[in-house]
């Protein structure tokens, strides 16, 4: 994304092959991160972290677990940003095949506890990344309820 003096600066945008897809929208980790970043900038939200999963029901939706402070219009702006970064998401929302996102607020310290659990299980602190996407119920449970391994 640029240089710091003569050293290249790169940005990690996500793990390869990680995306959410319930009805053909295929939202990548990078697209979700971009939508959240823009939503926070536009609304003034101050998030510690967030994790998104598909909430499976008759009309599936994205469920967004988050820690931090959001504003009144956060959900509306997030929806706009998801539609902007992924035309298939926009199409599925317009057709009604995909329901609007659901917010799931987390207790203060949730992501710090998640990282601490990973360290206590032997993971190097520098290698722990808060999960942007939860592709399995186990990943979701580990972040949202503090359960796992």
Percentage, residues of the chain above pLDDT 70? 89
Compute the average pLDDT of residues 39-43. 98
Residue entry with tokens 């520098």: 126
Q: Going by DSSP bridges, is the β-strand pair 19-20/102-105 parallel, antiparallel, or unpaired?
A: unpaired
Reported as a pLDDT band with limits 50, 70 and 90, residue 42 is: very high
Q: How far is CA 85 from CA 37, 56, 80, 138, in A?
A: 12, 22, 9, 27
> Is 79's pLDDT higher than 80?
yes
What is the model's pTM?
Answer: 0.86
Question: Is the Cβ–Cβ distance between 98 and 59 less than 8 Å?
Answer: yes
Q: Provide the 10 A C-beta neighbour count for residue 42.
A: 15
Compute the average pLDDT of residues 7-25. 72
């Amino acid at each position: 994304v640029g240089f710091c003096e003569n050293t290249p600066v790169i940005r990690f945008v996500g793990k390869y092959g990680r995306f959410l897809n319930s009805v053909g929208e295929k939202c990548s980790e990078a697209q979700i991160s971009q939508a959240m970043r823009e939503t926070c900038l536009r609304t003034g939200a101050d998030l510690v972290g967030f994790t998104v999963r598909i909430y499976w029901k008759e009309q599936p939706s994205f469920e967004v677990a988050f820690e931090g402070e959001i504003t009144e219009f956060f959900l509306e702006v997030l929806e706009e940003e998801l539609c902007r970064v992924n035309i298939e998401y926009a199409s599925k929302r317009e057709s009604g095949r995909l329901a609007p996102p659901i917010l799931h607020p987390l207790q203060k310290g949730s992501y710090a506890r998640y990282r601490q659990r990973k360290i206590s299980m032997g993971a190097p602190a520098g290698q722990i990344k808060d999960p942007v996407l939860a592709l399995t119920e186990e990943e979701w449970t580990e972040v949202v309820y503090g359960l796992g391994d």
